[in-house]
Amino acid sequence: MTRAALKSFRLWGLVPAWALMGLTLIIPVAIVAGVSLADRGPYGGFNWALNVSSYREILFTMGWTDELEFDPKYLVIIGRTLAYGLATTAICMALSVPVAYVIANARENWKPFLVYLVTLPFWVSMIVRVYAWLIILGNEGLAEKTWKFFGGGDVDTFLFTPGAMLTGMVYSYIPLMVLPVYAAIEKLDPALLEASHDLYGNRWTTLRRVILPLTWPGLAAGAILVFVPAIGTVLEPMLLGGGKQMMMGTLIQTQFGGGRNWPFGAAIAMVLMAMVVIVLVLNARRAAAIAREMEP
């Protein structure tokens, strides 16, 4: 192919991809952004306008005494969502490193099967999987029986607690962490570990100076894959957390449903999206910095 042809192919060859991105990503996001600036309809719905009151409402609301007051309630919800997202990511990371390590060091003919086991839950609908936890954590469920078998005291219920919610979130998203971490550990050259030991590096040093830096890209990719859906979660807080503490996902849902305030729901959705974009940008910059470092 000539240079010119290649150049034009680069331009036109990507048209289908751009069209797909435009139709399924850019236009919908633009609509949500537009709705977040619209006037709310009296019974839900909206009228196009340019109105930032939905964003102001995140910080200031009408109090019970009829005056605009600073109200941190939505900030609390945003903070809580971030906290649960971070906790889910951290727990997934801690659990998936040993799992990935075992898979990477398993007998060669076992590996595909073990990887298949990790992805197996994805074959079942997410709602069904979360419902399964209702039974496990519920009254007289597996969790309670196991707890009592090992001499645990009387428990009222495991369900409808922050712990139940976190359990469900970790369970739902952990395969997204195991796979990239496994890919990173798999590529780790055992000779480097030996070299580290030969140079009198103990286990801790080897982990810190050799294993972690080399598997970091996998961990970072896994962290993003887990964190992003975790902060948008709706099912676990509603079903396992009992809907007692709002997360951003449930808040958005309430505003479009019972709250009948679509522009405000859209504004919260934009904030959520902004948070995701910030995480992705930070990661991209980090990756670029690492790539620069690697260059001779």
Partner 1 sequence: MKKTLLTGTALICLAAPALAEGTLNIYAWSDSIAPELIEKFSAETGATVNYDGFNSNEDALTKLQAGASGYDIVTPSQHFVKIMIDEGLLEDIDAKDLDAYAAVDDRWKGQWWDPENDYSIPMAYGTAGFAVNRDLYDGPVDSWGVYFEPTEALQGKIASLSYPDEVVGAAQLYLGVEFCTEDKSEMKKVYDLLMAQKPYVAAYSSDNIENRLGSGEVAAHFWWDGNVLRTRDAGANLEYAMPKEGLVGWLDSYVVPKGAANVDMAKKFIEFMSTEENATIQYNYYAHSAPVKIDEASAKYTPENAPELFPTVPVEFSKACSPAAQDLVTKVWTDLLQ
Say how many residues touch partner 1, by CB under 8 A: 37
Question: Do the Cβ atoms of 80 and 89 come closer than 8 Å?
Answer: no
The closest of 229, 242, 260 to 45, measured between CA atoms, is 260
List Cβ neighbours of 228 (8 Å cut-off, separation of 6 or more).
276, 279, 280
* Contact flags string 146-165 toward partner 1, x per CB under 8 A: ----------xx-xx-----
Least separation, in Å, of the C-beta of 283 and partner 1? 31
Burial class (CB in 10 A: 0-12, 13-18, 19+), 34: middle
Q: What is the largest CA-CA distance in the chain?
A: 77
Closest approach of Cβ 204 to partner 1, in Å? 44
Binding mask 27-56 for partner 1 (x = CB under 8 A): --------------xxxxx-----------
Q: Which residues are CB-contacts of 134 (< 8 A; sequence separation ≥ 6)? A: 159, 239, 240
Task: Return the number of the residue (81 or 206) whose C-beta is nearest partner 1.
Answer: 81
Q: Does 103 bind partner 1 (CB under 8 A)?
A: no
Taking residues 108 to 147 in sequence order and writing x for each that binds partner 1 by CB under 8 A, - otherwise, the string is -----------------------x--x---xx--------
Minimum distance from residue 62 beta carbon to partner 1 (Å): 8
Q: Are 54 and 264 in contact (CB under 8 A)?
A: yes
Residues of this chain, 59-98, that bind partner 1 according to CB under 8 A: 61-62, 64-66, 73-74, 76-77
Q: Answer yes or no whether residue 284 interacts with partner 1 by CB under 8 A.
A: no
Contact between 257 and partner 1 per CB under 8 A: yes
**Range list of β-strands (E), the chain:** 39-40, 46-47, 60-62, 68-70
